[in-house]
Amino acid sequence: AQKVTQAQTEISVVEKEDVTLDCVYETRDTTYYLFWYKQPPSGELVFLIRRNSFDEQNEISGRYSWNFQKSTSSFNFTITASQVVDSAVYFCALISSTGRRALTFGSGTRLQVQP
Amino acid sequence: DSGVTQTPKHLITATGQRVTLRCSPRSGDLSVYWYQQSLDQGLQFLIQYYNGEERAKGNILERFSAQQFPDLHSELNLSSLELGDSALYFCASSVAEFLDDGYTFGSGTRLTVV
């Protein structure tokens, strides 16, 4: 069975602070993909990143960076110099190469960035 | 615009009723997936269709059914609606039967059952 845990239910920061959203996953498969999605107040799900299990390189995209560590089954997401527009719910998700081929989502972390 | 179109955006209906949610996948995508986002269950996979055939089933209730038509649009039918069916229903599409570059999600249909 697959599982994604986002232990942080809600985080509140002040603009320009850095913030890290944690994601821990469980799967028995050796080939899998990890994702982060953003859900702004408008409700749509916005794809942020996809990482496969064989690529442990960290990735940086502007103010966003992701740290993938297989040893701890974690795929954490950091926003540097947060902005009010970053306020949203962020979901980590997992899909394995076998099984149902459907995304298993974490429960999400609500990020509030205060001006 | 993600290219995945869901209609209607909002739907309010009474308990016991039946509704149909519609999804048009991104051009060229053959797979359609339905997800439900509710306050108590979070985001859950319901069902997948690939090129008109059902391919995978998740936590979909027996009162719910779906199909994918020859033009590849899909419909999710929800019947005998209960208050607990109130949720945001997402459709997503992908080119392949199995995940390749990821899903593209539509903007969702917000269903309110009163």
Q: What is the 3-state secondary structure (H, E, C) of A25-37?
A: EECCCCCEEEEEE
pLDDT digits (tens, 9 = 90+) for A61-100: 899 999 999 999 999 999 999 999 999 999 999 988 776 5
Percent of chain B with pLDDT over 70: 96
Contacts with B53 from chain A: Cβ below 8 Å: none
Q: Looking at the predicted structure, is the pLDDT value of residue B100 above 60?
A: no
Please give the pLDDT value at position A101: 72
Residue type, A69: Q
Percent of chain B with pLDDT over 90: 83
Which residues lie across from B77 on neighbouring strands? B20, B65
Q: How far apart are CA A12 and CA A110, in angstroms?
A: 8
Instruction: Judge whether B32 and B53 are in contact, CB under 8 Å.
Output: no
DSSP β-ladder status, A104-105 and A32-39: unpaired
Instruction: Judge whether A25 and A3 are in contact, CB under 8 Å.
Output: yes
- Asked whether the beta carbons of residue A100 and residue B56 sit closer than 8 angstroms, the reply is yes
pLDDT digits (tens, 9 = 90+) for B56-73: 999 899 999 999 999 999
Q: Is the peptide bond before B8 cis (omega within 30 degrees of 0)?
A: yes
Q: How far apart are CA B103 and CA B95, in angstroms?
A: 9
Least CB–CB distance from B99: residue in A91, A101, A106: A101
Q: What distance in Å separates residue B72's CA from the closest CA in chain A?
A: 19
Q: What is the mean pLDDT of chain A?
A: 93
Please give the pLDDT value at position B1: 75
Q: Is the peptide bond before A40 cis (omega within 30 degrees of 0)?
A: no
- Asked whether the beta carbons of residue B58 and residue A102 sit closer than 8 angstroms, the reply is yes
